[in-house]
Structure 1
Amino acid sequence: MPHPFPTLRTFYYLDHFKEMVAFLENHYAKVLADEEREYIEHFNQLGQQAQALKVRMTNRRGRIFRIESFKYSEIPDRDSSLLELRELGFIRPLEAADVDEWLDLLTRAELVQFLKSDENPAKCCTSGKTKQQIRNWVRESYGFADFARHFTLESFTVQARTQTLEYLLFLYFGKTRDSLQAFALRDLGIVKTQSAQTQFEARFQSPQSAKSAFFYSSIATKIETADPGELLIIADSAADWPPAVDRETEAKFHRVIAQLGGRLERIDCIPQALQVYELSDHHPARERICRLRHARGETEIVQAFLQRIIDQPASDEELLFAEDFHARKFGGRKIGRLTQLLREAPILKLDEAFRDQPEEAVVRHFMELGQTAIHVENHFWSVLFGVMFWDALHGESSCATPNEFELRPTQLLNRSFAEKQADVIEARLQWLGTAKAEAWIQEVFSNHFGQPNGIFHWREEDLPMLIRFLKAATPTATATILRRIAADPKSNGRGYPDLLVFDPDGVKFLEIKAEGDQIRRHQLVQMEALRVAGFDVGVLRVQWWIDPMQEYVVVDLETTGRRSESHRVTEIGALKVRNGEVIDQFQTLIHPQRRIPKIITELTGIDDRMVEHAPTFEQIADSFREFVGDAVLVAHNANFDYGFLRDEYTRLGQNFRRPTLCTVVAMRKFYPGLESYKLSRLCDEFSISLDRHHRALCDAAATAELLKLINLKRIIKPTSSFQESEIATRP
């Protein structure tokens, strides 16, 4: 029997607000200033209905509300509640400073009615005008006194002390938020939290740190939505922003500077952008200074500035930029280091049917060579880091998270993990190269597999991968990278190579680049870090071509309907093709475990009687998967057939993933201009037999003939389409 959907209590939102406040008083007592304490004290003085109405406002959009919109069955005494809120300063009347936001609240009809009531002969013609156009004209032409004469402004109220409320929400969630929706989603079971956790670690250790972080989070939100005029005002104030008081707020400051400078560049305010960038001594602001000044011809200034960066870089990525830019602009080198690395990388030719899955195609190539390659990207180092230091991150005496909604420990968020857990980290790294490391990883997987954490996703196949890696890799190299991640988890959590390859010499990491791909600077930073640590690291370029020996499985399905999520397969017909010849076939009726609609029987000729003793899909799933093997799946309208196959396997708790080739798409590409690309019309056009249309094997055979026509047009075209343009950080 299905579990009933959970319901929320009458005053659930009020309970959530009180829960948040109690949490802050318990864990952030030293961060709360007099303003926040007074806010909480005044809130506690309100009656239940007034408290509930206040939280209702908190969870709604905007600051200004129509009083008549406060219709809540659990708040019958609305007027008394509003009076309480006004007496304690939680709401106030509408004022002239609120006009812009208040006009946004009005409907188009209200604005038009206001203009009709005015005797001004120059009033705006509203016919054909949008609400925004009318609103803007009203704002420019009238003042607060005009509105007060026409509207009953007392029917509106303004939520006050909003900045204090926003600050409390920021302390709890660590980001600017305007509601407590996360609590409701938790209670409904939609959002999973660490509800059993009892130990928490505050995000901020001082009021100064919290206020600084709140300021930069708030200003970042304003920059994101500001219009050009507002951006210039923000830029003028940037020099007077409060100073960053710790490592994390300093990082926020530099991110906001880069964000503001980027937006100023996009509206072509280059002098103002430079003025803003010069407030930062970090990446990417200093890169933008170099590029903008070089574009203005200030070469001597740029050359000296680049040298200062090279002498004292703020990060590995900034050093890479400075050396590369200096070499190309002042050292005579014609191409960037990233482009040069890509050009020099060896090329591996693979069948273009795998174009959408280059990493998987290379993994398959290594498998054919008898080697093991695993597509890991950032996941590998995340899971190794998370498992090796599991007890330090999640144990009883470990660092804790800021609240039950946040899965990442506070010490990772504020980058204090390496300092505060130094002894644990170094002791654990001493296990590398010994049996202790393998035993520890097995213990963590055995005791904690599936436990939510904000560092990595659990996968069963990771355990043997990690054990094999630790046996093959140099312990000192592994320790170097793990220390690097511990020191700065945010910066060193991405950019790692695509593949981990095990070969007779140990392990190596490979970055895979298909045609049109670029090497990003942060990728090269991580590749360099791996190389310096002692790992074998490389780049492999994939070039697509037509492999005549590539196997294809041309498949056609008959089904009980068109939608794979609600219908089932009734017949499979498939042909295996290599070098233009059919080498094997697979055909069977399938019992759909439901009735076949009459309209489908009329189309295919397949009825309930025919499939009565046929196998179910579950009974043929393994044999069909074996038949397909590593072949490319081909179908006419491949999304239909492939979608049905995936859903059938999903119902069995299995994945089914293969590269596909759609003959509809390919025929349109290689044989353009035909009147129709339906299978029957293409068969007529190219004299292909289609004796039993809408029976799976017949349609598959016809589709195989189309594949031959397509492969006649698919010729090898040597490519030079790798991006060789300058790699830059864009605003």
Structure 2
Amino acid sequence: MARFSSLEIAKSTYMLHNKLSLIKEITVWSHKQILKEIESLPNAAGPKAETLKQRIEFYLADALLTFDKEDALDKLANIESAEAQEKWIRESYKSGKKELVEKKLETIIDNPLSDDILVFASDFLARKYRKKRTSILTDMLRDNSQRIALDEMHKASVEKGVVAYYKNKGLFAQRTENELFRSLFGLFFWEEIFDIEGYGLVNEFDRTPLSLKNNCLYEIANTSIETKIASIEDSQQLLQFLSKQAVKHFGKPNDIFRWKDKLLALIKPFIEHAPYQAILQHLLAMTKDWYALNDGYPDIMVIDSAKPHISESLRFEEIKSEGDQLRRNQLTTIQRLKEQGFNVIITNVEWIIDPMQAYVVVDIETTGGRASNHKITEVGMVKVVNGEIVDQWQSLINPQRRIPANITALTGIDNEMVQHAPIFAEVAQEIADFTEHCVFVAHNVNFDYGFIREEFARLERHFKRPKLCTVSQMRKFYKGLPSYSLANLTKHFEIPMQRHHRAMSDAIAASELLKLINEKRIPSN
């Protein structure tokens, strides 16, 4: 199957693509050169070529502003692209053409080329012509935002920290971002996206169908799309249809979403708690403007089943910490979700040192010093909240290899002791559950964390937790000690040790160091 429906369209696209690349390389323009390029532009054949030509025209008109602003504005006004419309509005407003700009803004709002330009036009009109002092973004931040305090240990993975925050409060929360709606879109409209001749995937190396590349899915498949949407009468039917689609198409290559074994586990809670009509409305909007609505979705979904009405139980949250900005594509998508009845808020994270943050202090024993070559023989973990041990977990681990004699001499763990112990795969889930939503603490944390992460990787599982190292933190808060080894620190601070180089004993000792560290880290009331 050819990528283009005719040789003429293929040649036109190729020529304009090359022309755009050449023009972008020019850094210094003359007035005469710009006019010559504009006059010599060939006609465009096909939607892809038309888009390329519009980009070239915009690029040249923008360069022309330096030499002849009126001529440049005339040319911008005749380019049917959102970026040209926005540029014309901004430059014309600066030039005092306020009445013309107001009419143009009204026209755009009545018939926008994209959601992006609609958001821009609505915002510009409100601020410049209605004496409104705030933008749409400011309104959203003021009227639909909240602030929560998170322990600074979550700085490396803010969204994960917020999910943990809600789960600790007994609410359902999970990361969604673009994955949720892209998965819904791909599953629901699979046949329309991939099976229409001439608009699907071109060859086995392709991942994006032409209908999405050209942003014309609704244009070519509107009858099928409307019929499919009309066939769904309730949430249960929608979930059943998506489940059948997942079974039918599982594993087929595409770049809309990633196939996962737990894909339906992401989708199911959303379908059960969101108005199905709103879901279908948004999927329909995605078919009409894939460019604008394929990304920019809120970071997490939160479900509070205690809420009396289904419309109140589910909300999306866009997470922002210090220095983060809400981008235009995010604003566009959030605005559209809100228009369709979804509850979307902005959650601003304030960093604190939280005394109620849960820590898991970990110590492991191994067959050697390199995570890639050696295996774990014992794991000991204690969970600490507000300075107190609230839980603990320990197990010998069968490394499925012989333990070197020098390691046995150091730890006391021999081959006979681990012969009937579980292998790591048998306790991996327990370790994952015990450490979930906790800060991973160890004395020389990269050693213990690296071994555990490597063991999970061997099982093709991902393991990631925020980390705290008692070695580096003791050096920071207790300067000038002769040694920062666990043995010497426990001796210096008179911390009792049952048996050095056994996992649980070392973990308990390191938890006492954590208490000393947090006495310095956490401000006293």
Offset, 1:581: 1.9
Match of 1:203 in 2: 3
Q: Deviations over 1:525-574 (max 9, x none)?
A: 11111122222222222223233222210112233344323221133232
Match of 2:66 in 1: 271
Q: Quick one: distance in 2 between partners of 1:549 and 1:438? A: 39
Report if the CA contact (8 A) 1:310-1:319 is conserved. no
- 1:683 equivalent in alignment to 2:489: yes
Return the match for 1:308 from 104, 111, 132: 104
Partner amino acid, structure 1, of 2:165: H
Once the two structures are superposed, the pairs formed by residues 58-207 of structure 1 within 5 Å of their partners are 200=1, 202-207=2-7
Report if the CA contact (8 A) 2:376-2:399 is conserved. yes
Partner amino acid, structure 2, of 1:387: L
Once the two structures are superposed, the pairs formed by residues 26-45 of structure 1 within 5 Å of their partners are none
Q: Quick one: distance in 1 between partners of 2:204 and 2:21? A: 25
Q: Quick one: distance in 1 between partners of 2:399 and 2:60? A: 59
SS in 2 for 1:585: strand
Match of 1:632 in 2: 439
Return the match for 1:531 from 322, 325, 338: 338
- 1:358 equivalent in alignment to 2:164: no
Larger radius of gyration: 1
SS in 1 for 2:245: helix
Q: Quick one: distance in 2 between partners of 1:610 and 1:446? A: 46
Offset, 1:523: 0.9
Match of 1:499 in 2: 300
Once the two structures are superposed, the pairs formed by residues 3-42 of structure 1 within 5 Å of their partners are none
Match of 2:263 in 1: 462
Q: Quick one: distance in 2 between partners of 1:273 and 1:662? A: 62
User: Taking structure 1 as reference, are residues 400 and 618 closer, same or farther at Cα in structure 2, changes over 3 Å only?
Assistant: closer
Offset, 1:428: 0.9
User: Taking structure 1 as reference, are residues 438 and 330 closer, same or farther at Cα in structure 2, changes over 3 Å only?
Assistant: closer
Q: Quick one: distance in 2 between partners of 1:570 and 1:461? A: 31
User: Taking structure 1 as reference, are residues 206 and 674 closer, same or farther at Cα in structure 2, changes over 3 Å only?
Assistant: farther
Report if the CA contact (8 A) 1:554-1:703 is conserved. yes
Report if the CA contact (8 A) 1:564-1:643 is conserved. yes
Report if the CA contact (8 A) 2:483-2:489 is conserved. no
Structure 2, unpaired ranges of 5+: none
Q: Quick one: distance in 2 between partners of 1:401 and 1:378? A: 22
Q: Quick one: distance in 1 between partners of 2:22 and 2:33? A: 9
Report if the CA contact (8 A) 2:361-2:381 is conserved. yes
Offset, 1:665: 5.5
Once the two structures are superposed, the pairs formed by residues 635-654 of structure 1 within 5 Å of their partners are 635-654=442-461
SS in 2 for 1:300: coil
Once the two structures are superposed, the pairs formed by residues 473-622 of structure 1 within 5 Å of their partners are 473-503=274-304, 504=307, 505-506=309-310, 507-596=314-403, 608=415, 611=418, 614-622=421-429
SS in 2 for 1:490: helix
User: Taking structure 1 as reference, are residues 410 and 627 closer, same or farther at Cα in structure 2, changes over 3 Å only?
Assistant: closer
Report if the CA contact (8 A) 1:513-1:540 is conserved. yes
User: Taking structure 1 as reference, are residues 248 and 659 closer, same or farther at Cα in structure 2, changes over 3 Å only?
Assistant: same
Partner amino acid, structure 2, of 1:337: I
Match of 1:228 in 2: 27
- 1:342 equivalent in alignment to 2:141: yes
User: Taking structure 1 as reference, are residues 373 and 653 closer, same or farther at Cα in structure 2, changes over 3 Å only?
Assistant: same
Match of 1:381 in 2: 181
Report if the CA contact (8 A) 1:223-1:231 is conserved. no
SS in 2 for 1:348: strand
Report if the CA contact (8 A) 1:261-1:273 is conserved. no
SS in 2 for 1:241: coil
User: Taking structure 1 as reference, are residues 315 and 437 closer, same or farther at Cα in structure 2, changes over 3 Å only?
Assistant: closer
RMSD: 4.0
Offset, 1:645: 1.0
SS in 2 for 1:271: coil
User: Taking structure 1 as reference, are residues 392 and 346 closer, same or farther at Cα in structure 2, changes over 3 Å only?
Assistant: same
Q: Quick one: distance in 2 between partners of 1:664 and 1:230? A: 60
Offset, 1:393: 3.2
Match of 1:440 in 2: 241
Q: Deviations over 1:242-285 (max 9, x none)?
A: 243443333333445667899x8xxxx98279888954453334
Report if the CA contact (8 A) 1:350-1:361 is conserved. yes
Report if the CA contact (8 A) 2:218-2:287 is conserved. yes
Q: How many residues align?
A: 507
User: Taking structure 1 as reference, are residues 460 and 617 closer, same or farther at Cα in structure 2, changes over 3 Å only?
Assistant: closer
Q: Quick one: distance in 2 between partners of 1:228 and 1:526? A: 35
Normalized against structure 1, the TM-score is what?
Answer: 0.60
Match of 1:35 in 2: none
SS in 2 for 1:642: helix
Report if the CA contact (8 A) 1:418-1:486 is conserved. yes
Q: Quick one: distance in 1 between partners of 2:303 and 2:404? A: 53
Q: Quick one: distance in 1 between partners of 2:32 and 2:487? A: 64
SS in 2 for 1:349: strand
User: Taking structure 1 as reference, are residues 533 and 625 closer, same or farther at Cα in structure 2, changes over 3 Å only?
Assistant: closer
Report if the CA contact (8 A) 1:589-1:611 is conserved. yes
Q: Deviations over 1:87-122 (max 9, x none)?
A: xxxxxxxxxxxxxxxxxxxxxxxxxxxxxxxxxxxx
User: Taking structure 1 as reference, are residues 596 and 228 closer, same or farther at Cα in structure 2, changes over 3 Å only?
Assistant: farther
Report if the CA contact (8 A) 1:254-1:282 is conserved. yes
User: Taking structure 1 as reference, are residues 578 and 372 closer, same or farther at Cα in structure 2, changes over 3 Å only?
Assistant: closer
User: Taking structure 1 as reference, are residues 603 and 468 closer, same or farther at Cα in structure 2, changes over 3 Å only?
Assistant: closer
Q: Quick one: distance in 1 between partners of 2:487 and 2:127? A: 57
Structure 1, unpaired ranges of 5+: 1-199, 718-731
Q: Quick one: distance in 1 between partners of 2:10 and 2:338? A: 39
Report if the CA contact (8 A) 2:114-2:292 is conserved. no
Q: Quick one: distance in 2 between partners of 1:712 and 1:334? A: 47
Q: Quick one: distance in 2 between partners of 1:714 and 1:587? A: 28
Report if the CA contact (8 A) 1:363-1:374 is conserved. yes
Offset, 1:233: 10
Match of 2:200 in 1: 400
Offset, 1:425: 0.8
Report if the CA contact (8 A) 1:407-1:453 is conserved. yes
User: Taking structure 1 as reference, are residues 330 and 208 closer, same or farther at Cα in structure 2, changes over 3 Å only?
Assistant: same
Report if the CA contact (8 A) 1:667-1:677 is conserved. no
Report if the CA contact (8 A) 2:180-2:266 is conserved. no
Report if the CA contact (8 A) 1:342-1:541 is conserved. no
Match of 1:421 in 2: 221
Offset, 1:342: 2.6
Q: Quick one: distance in 2 between partners of 1:584 and 1:634? A: 15
User: Taking structure 1 as reference, are residues 416 and 321 closer, same or farther at Cα in structure 2, changes over 3 Å only?
Assistant: closer
Normalized against structure 2, the TM-score is what?
Answer: 0.81
User: Taking structure 1 as reference, are residues 229 and 439 closer, same or farther at Cα in structure 2, changes over 3 Å only?
Assistant: same
User: Taking structure 1 as reference, are residues 479 and 618 closer, same or farther at Cα in structure 2, changes over 3 Å only?
Assistant: closer
Partner amino acid, structure 1, of 2:489: C
